[in-house]
Amino acid sequence: MPNGTDFVIEDGVLRKYAGPGGDVAIPRGVTAIRHHAFACCDRLTGVMIPEGVTEIGEDAFVYCKALTAASIPGSVARIGKGAFEGCVSLQRITIPAGVAEIGDAAFHDCAALKSVTIAEGVTDIGEGAFEGCAALEEMVIPSSVTRLGDAALEGCRSLSRVAVAAGNRAYRSVDDVIFSADGRTLAACAWKTGAYAVPPGVTRIGRRAFYGCRALTGVAICDDVTEIGEGAFGFCTALTDVTIPGSVKRIGRAAFFGCDDLKRVTIENGAEEIGDRAFWGCKRLVRASLPESVVRIGAQAFCDCWKLPQIALPDRVARIGRRTFENCWEMKAVTLPERIEAIDEEAFRSCYSLRHVRIPAGATRIGHGAFTGCAGLSGVELPASLTQIDAEAFRNCAALTGLSLPEGLTAIGDGAFRKCEGLTDVTIPESVAKIGRGAFDDCAGLTVATVTDAVIDFSAFSGCRSLEAFVVSPASRRYSAVDGVVFSKNGHRLIAYPPGRSRDRYDIPETVTEVADSAFAGAPVGLVFVHGRVTCFPETAEGDPYVASGNAAFISRLGRPVYLGPPEELSNKNRRRAIEGFLFALEAGTPEIEPWREDYIDCIRREYAVWEKKAWRNGTLLRLMIDRRMLRPETANNMRRKWVSSGREDMALLLSDYIASAGE
């Protein structure tokens, strides 16, 4: 470190400042300040940059929150991106004539910056260069500037005057509004209050031109405007009514994003595109008139428009974009265009008040979560053209009662109708090739499900606590049904047991040699099913099959079968799982376990170290170990302390008695 311990300088580049802060003079001979050289130096209050420095790197002084003054010499040619960003105490700055470029966000969020002087010679002012400079009162753009970046003056809420110096060939200013030199683009403005009329001749309102003008109460857009740029009126929270003339072909992304008080929007005929997020977060919007000329409505265009009661979509729109109307809580009706081909992901998610939807003929897909959470949706008409209902498309549509799935439908996604508690019956068309997991999970009112030849993961009906029977079409080539239970066509494979059937025991028919994975998913806890010839029962913790002979039994526990047969017939992997099932059956008082009770107790004795640890949280196991005097006294004493501290006096007393008897 040739220049003292406060600076790390290599080949004329100041790479890092490591000093105590205060007012700092950078040593002579430095030619560049590297990116992040002073970043987050909280104690730096002032900096003097010497002649000879040509560049201030990206984020060089970022978040130096105590910095109040910075001296920039005429030798500097470039101020990098974010160089002074977040210097919230910086009050004034002079940009000398030698500087050609002020980088993007160079003085972003310098909240105390009140005075900025930009000398002639500067050519480029980057995007967001002075964004968020809330104290800035005046800005004069030199005649040398050829590019003023988008949002350069955004959020400067004290900015009452903005002007372009005479002779500038790229820009001009009128009434504190900056335009392109030809007057066709409205680029930026001072902090506007009241109403503003866009003057004739303007064809484009630039990106974020009025963004954050929270006191702007009205805007009259002239008939020459053809495009409203991205974020042009974003967060103009005092706007209440907007009419967009027919000359406007494109309303840009987030053009009116976050206009909280906007109540009415009239888009005249001629507009073709409403961009992504165009009206997102217009929470008080109660009327949006869309003309027939519109061909595209972007993703999230009306998302979070809480008060919007209804919408009629133009006939030329072929697709409803992702999350377009999500969280339009008070929307009661929507008219979809006849040309619609698809409804994308979460398009109407959480439109709680929506009552009925007709999907027009021609639509082929309803996207992931398209109507999720539409709690008031009681009816939906699906066209014959529909081939795909994606995952969670109608999840939590609790009021949905009528559902007619069309022939031609080929796929129903995971959880597509999960928790549609009003559904009472459903018929799966023969055309369906696949039904995903949990497609009808927790449809509490579903009593009958009719299936044909669809490839079904029958866990699709898990949690349907009223479903007492499956019905299989006689024409099915894949399935058969006996007493509401689904089997393979030849009867050798048990495929699905109805989860809502309230019985204590089910005897698997002698014809069955295999039980399918998830066959008893959702079956009542404690249901015992007994078999004679089944040789493969696939549900285990490790995915290995149970292989058993003779009249072994199983008991349903949280939708999974737990083995109740002799433990010696199991692999080591499955034996511990079976012991847990034995404990569950013991607690439930299941008589089928009795022939092998002592065999399981012997297994626990042989693996005492394993099961002693489990006894800390399994009361049934603990009582068994006490009853058979397996528990070591020192372990019992430690357990007693735990139960005392947790307030379980019954368990603590049981252990105290055991310890006392062990000492006798």
Handedness of CA 9, 14, 19, 24 (dihedral sign): positive
Give the CA distances from residue 573 to residues 1, 563, 568, in Å, rounded to whole numbers and listed in that order.
64, 13, 12
Stretch 325-329: mean pLDDT, rounded? 97
Taking each helix axis from N to C end, the angle separating 649-662 and 619-627, rounded to the nearest 10 degrees, works out to 20
**Banded pLDDT at 641 (limits 50, 70, 90):** confident
Q: Is residue 609 part of a domain?
A: yes
- Write the DSSP string, 81-121: TTTTTT-TT--EEEE-TT--EE-TTTTTT-TT--EEEE-TT
Give the CA distances from residue 20 to residues 29, 44, 141, 352, in Å, rounded to whole numbers and listed in that order.
21, 8, 37, 58
The strand pair at 215-220 and 193-197 is best described as: parallel
The whole-number pLDDT of residue 481 equals 93
Q: Is residue 379 part of a domain?
A: no
**Banded pLDDT at 522 (limits 50, 70, 90):** low
Instruction: Indicate which CATH number applies to the domain containing 50.
Output: 3.80.10.10
Per-residue pLDDT tens digits for 265-281: 999 999 999 999 999 99
In 206-329, beta strands by DSSP E = 215-220, 227-228, 241-244, 250-251, 264-267, 273-274, 287-289, 296-297, 310-312, 319-320
The upper half-sphere exposure of residue 24, i.e. CA atoms within 13 Å in the direction of its Cβ, equals 23
Handedness of CA 83, 89, 95, 96 (dihedral sign): negative
Q: Tell me which residue has tokens 């995915």.
A: 543
Per-residue pLDDT tens digits for 72-123: 999 999 999 999 999 999 999 999 999 999 999 999 999 999 999 999 999 9
- The span from the CA of 344 to the CA of 600, in Å, is 55
- Of 245, 186, 242, the closest CA to residue 218 belongs to 242
Handedness of CA 460, 466, 468, 470 (dihedral sign): negative
User: Which of 145, 170, 191 is the last residue in one of the domains?
Assistant: 191
Q: Is residue 471 part of a domain?
A: no
- The span from the CA of 47 to the CA of 392, in Å, is 58
The whole-number pLDDT of residue 16 equals 96
The whole-number pLDDT of residue 418 equals 96
Of 283-292, 343-352, 565-574, 591-600, minimum mean pLDDT range = 565-574
Q: Is residue 583 part of a domain?
A: yes
Q: For residue 449, list its beta bridge partners.
A: 426, 470
8 Å CB contact between 461 and 448: no
Quickly list H helices, 34-181.
none
Question: At residue 59, what are phi and psi to the nearest 5 degrees?
Answer: 55, 25
8 Å CB contact between 49 and 33: yes
- Of 607, 600, 568, the closest CA to residue 582 belongs to 600
- The span from the CA of 307 to the CA of 263, in Å, is 9
Q: Tell me which residue has tokens 């400042």.
A: 17
Mean pLDDT of the chain, nearest integer:
89
Per-residue pLDDT tens digits for 76-89: 999 999 999 999 99
- The span from the CA of 583 to the CA of 152, in Å, is 70
8 Å CB contact between 526 and 506: no
Count the domains in the chain.
Answer: 2
Q: Is residue 411 part of a domain?
A: no
Per-residue pLDDT tens digits for 539-580: 443 344 444 444 455 555 544 566 666 777 676 767 787 788
Q: Count other Cβ atoms within 10 Å, centred on residue 11.
A: 7
Of 38-52, 233-247, 338-352, 424-438, minimum mean pLDDT range = 424-438
Residue with the larger pLDDT of the pair 176 and 459: 176
Q: Is residue 29 part of a domain?
A: yes
User: Which of 151, 174, 191 is the last residue in one of the domains?
Assistant: 191
Handedness of CA 165, 167, 168, 170 (dihedral sign): positive
8 Å CB contact between 622 and 604: no
Residue with the larger pLDDT of the pair 135 and 192: 135
Handedness of CA 633, 638, 641, 643 (dihedral sign): negative
Stretch 64-70: mean pLDDT, rounded? 97
The whole-number pLDDT of residue 566 equals 74
Q: Is residue 536 part of a domain?
A: no
The whole-number pLDDT of residue 658 equals 86
The upper half-sphere exposure of residue 424, i.e. CA atoms within 13 Å in the direction of its Cβ, equals 3
Residue with the larger pLDDT of the pair 378 and 557: 378
Can you read off the two tokens belonging to residue 538?
């696939």
In 18-98, beta strands by DSSP E = 22-25, 32-33, 44-48, 55-56, 69-71, 78-79, 92-95
Can you read off the two tokens belonging to residue 437?
């997991």
pLDDT beyond 50 at 371: yes
- The span from the CA of 100 to the CA of 219, in Å, is 35
Can you read off the two tokens belonging to residue 588?
């439930």
Q: Tell me which residue has tokens 């995952």.
A: 391
Domain range holding 65?
Answer: 1-191
Stretch 370-380: mean pLDDT, rounded? 96
Per-residue pLDDT tens digits for 394-440: 999 999 998 999 999 999 999 999 999 999 999 999 899 889 889 99
- The span from the CA of 1 to the CA of 479, in Å, is 82
Q: Is residue 488 part of a domain?
A: no
